[in-house]
Structure 1
Amino acid sequence: MDTSRQLYDVEATGRQRGVYDDIKRTFRAPIVNWIFRTTMANAPHFLRYAWGQLKPLFDTRAFARYSVAYRDAVLTELEDATGIPTYRRSTVDVAPAEYDALRGQLATFDVVAPRLVFLFETMDRALHDGAVGTDPGATRAATAPFPAWLDADRGRPPTMIAAGAVPDDLDETVSSIQSFHGLGDDLPSIYRCLAQWPTVLDAAWADLGPFFESDGFDRARETTAELTATLVESTPYTPRLAPEDLRSAGFDDDTIEEMQTLFREFNTGAVESVLPTLPVYAATVDAEGVRNPL
């Protein structure tokens, strides 16, 4: 599988464009994430089948509650540790229009964070015959629809610096970020987005880096992992994505193994420390979503 290949939203047509439209509607975000773009480019039939299996899991009130609890778990630990730093436009020397763009783009990352975490955990388990829907929830929320108003019309499509185009004055900051997340020379989308505003990224990493290296952030990661596992196991809809299910649906062993490898890689490693940071960065510019229990 060539993970450098991607089918971008603007290039998608026909059924592929329809899947992308549905992903954006279901995720409530103006973006089709990399994991979908590269899967569509390499295995379009698999993604269409898998999305049909996964979509109901994201459309429940139980998932809505989880997405809110995920955000709150991370931000509560930060509040208890140091408080949430806030960056007004004037303090980070960003023009008004650029500040609006910054807030909108960070809101998008805030929206997709719990959805990606849940996607990776569900797919990783399902593709390896793991526990998905083994203890279906019996409450009304388990099958009730996702509230139409939650996360609606939030965010703007993120823009980013090109890979390898980090401004010279961010070299030290970016090196520290890569070291913390164990990324080598890579830089995740959130940081490539923030690098468009060097004063913001510098200030945010200086203020938040110590928290990300603290016991509080470790507790946040443990709590969110527990929330995710509970929802994956209690979902009332069990996606048919186990290897035998996929063989019955006509997928060959090579495709199955490629998908197992892809989603296992995305459910482990650096992503475990990157995704919980997304609500934090949004909160620094007052762009985070709802935190109260639903």
Structure 2
Amino acid sequence: MDRSAQLYERDATGWQRGMYEDIETTFRALIVNWFFRTLTANEPAFARYMWGQLKPLFQTRAFGDYTVSYRDAVLSALEDGSADPPRYRRADLEVQPAEWRELRGQLATFDIVAPRLALAFAVCDRTMNGDPLEADLDDAASTAPLPPWLDRDRGRSVTMIDAGGVPDDLSDTIDDIRDFHGLEGGLPSIYRCLAQWPGYLEPAWTDLEPILESAAFERGCDDADAVIDAHLAELPYAPRLSPTALADRGFDESTIEELRDFVRSFNRGAIETVLPAIAIYAATLDAAGERSL
């Protein structure tokens, strides 16, 4: 598993291009995450099978309830803990009008995709690492369709700086960000995106660092995890991603072990604070989505 190998959207052809389009359409977000790009580059047969198993989970009203509850869990913890994030107007920042629209639109895309990725990582980790999930059709929301308006058409296609291409005037800020999240490898996509606008990221990090280091944010992360756990206990469909199921599909033991380690790495460590922080960045620009249905 070469973790530096990725199949980008621009290079995808055939069924891989179709799957990327399906991910974007299903997620209602114009981005295919590094998780999917790396799996498609390294283990395309698994990526296609995995997506077929995951896709139904993102298409119900219960899932929509989960996404807004995840976002609300993070933001409510800050508001309840007197650590409410700042709200910026364009005039507060060194950002031009066209840049302002692009920044807010791209940040909205990350705000849409964050709870979806959190669920995808949790489902893959648990099912592939010995914690099988059971389907529990408890009420109509479990099988009702996802509301067509939810998160629809509010984000923009994402652009990012090249890996290692951090502007010099942001180097100290990025170092602080790495220290806070415990980042050892590459910079997460959200920060590679926001680094395009130093006039936003530098003052935002200055204001948000003490908030992200607060007990209120820690509580928000715990509450978001609890929302994930509650949703996983009431899934309408149990994906077949266990090691036994993968072996039945023809994947060999060494490949399965590598895949298990790979998905676990996405559900542990820095991601536990990176994804919840996205809702806070979005809130600073009034780009966060709904918090209830």
Structure 1 position 45, deviation (Å)? 0.7
- Cα displacement (A) at 1:194: 1.2
SS at match of 2:91: coil
Equivalence for 2:194 = 194
Paired letter, 1:90: A
Name the SS for the 1:84 alignment partner: coil
| Aligned-pair CA distance for 1:137 | 3.7
Distance 1:44 1:227 in 2: 31
2: CA distance between counterparts of 1:50 and 1:188?
22
Provide Cα deviations, 1:159-187, integer angstroms capped at 9, x if missing partner: 11122221222122111111111113632
Q: Provide the C-alpha distance between the structure 1 equivalents of 2:155 and 2:147, rounded to a whole number of angstroms.
A: 18
SS at match of 1:223: helix
Q: Corresponding residue for 1:109?
A: 110
2:256 maps to which residue?
Answer: 256
Tell me, yes or no, if structure 1 residue 75 matches structure 2 residue 93: no
* Shift in Å, 1:99: 0.6
Per the TM alignment, residue 109 of structure 1 is displaced from its structure 2 partner at its CA by 0.5
Equivalent residue number for residue 142 of structure 1: 142
Do the aligned partners of 1:132 and 1:234 also contact (CA within 8 Å) in 2? Answer: no
Gaps of at least 5 residues in structure 1 are none
Cα separation, 2, equivalents of 1:29 and 1:271 = 19
State the match for 2:223 in structure 1. Answer: 223
State the alpha-carbon separation in 1 of the partners of residues 157 and 87 from structure 2.
Answer: 22
The match for 1:162 is 162
What pairs with 1:1-294 in structure 2 (closer than 5 Å)? Answer: 1-80=1-80, 81-133=82-134, 136-184=136-184, 186-292=186-292, 294=293
Distance 1:20 1:185, change over 3 A: closer
Which residue type is aligned with residue 6 of structure 1? Q
8 Å Cα contact 2:85-2:211 kept in structure 1: no
Task: Give the distance between the partners of 1:206 and 1:16, measured in 2 at CA.
Answer: 41
Structure 1's 185 and 266: CA in aligned 2 closer, same or farther, altered over 3 A? Answer: closer
State the AA in 2 paired with 1:231: H
Superposed displacement of residue 73, structure 1: 1.0
Contact 1:178/1:185 (<8 A) preserved:
no
Deviates more, 1:8-17 or 1:179-188: 179-188
Q: Secondary structure at the match of 1:234?
A: coil
Post-superposition CA distance 1:62-103 (Å, at most 9, x none): 110000001111111222323231121111021111110000
1:198-256 residue CA offsets vs partner (Å, 9 max, x unmatched): 12111111111111111101111111111101211210201111111111111111221
What is the CA–CA distance in structure 2 between the aligned matches of 1:248 and 1:153, rounded to whole Å?
A: 39
* Alignment size in residue pairs: 292
Which amino acid in structure 1 is aligned with residue 123 of structure 2?
T
Distance 2:234 2:180 in 1: 33
Q: Which amino acid aligns with 2:267?
A: N
2:76 alignment partner AA? T
Deviations 1:126-159 (A, max 9, x none): 112313126x141110111111110011211221
3-state SS in 1 of match to 2:268: coil
Tell me the amino acid that sits aligned with residue 114 of structure 1. Answer: P
Does structure 2 retain, via aligned residues, the 8 Å contact 1:124–1:260? yes
Whole-angstrom distance in 2 between the partners of 1:46 and 1:37: 12
Amino acid in structure 1 at the alignment position of 2:235: T
Deviation >3 Å, runs of 4+: none
1:185 to 1:35, Cα distance in 2 relative to 1, 3 A:
closer
> Is the 2:83–2:216 contact (alpha carbons within 8 Å) kept by the matching residues of 1?
no
C-alpha distance in 2 between matches for 1:114 and 1:137: 21
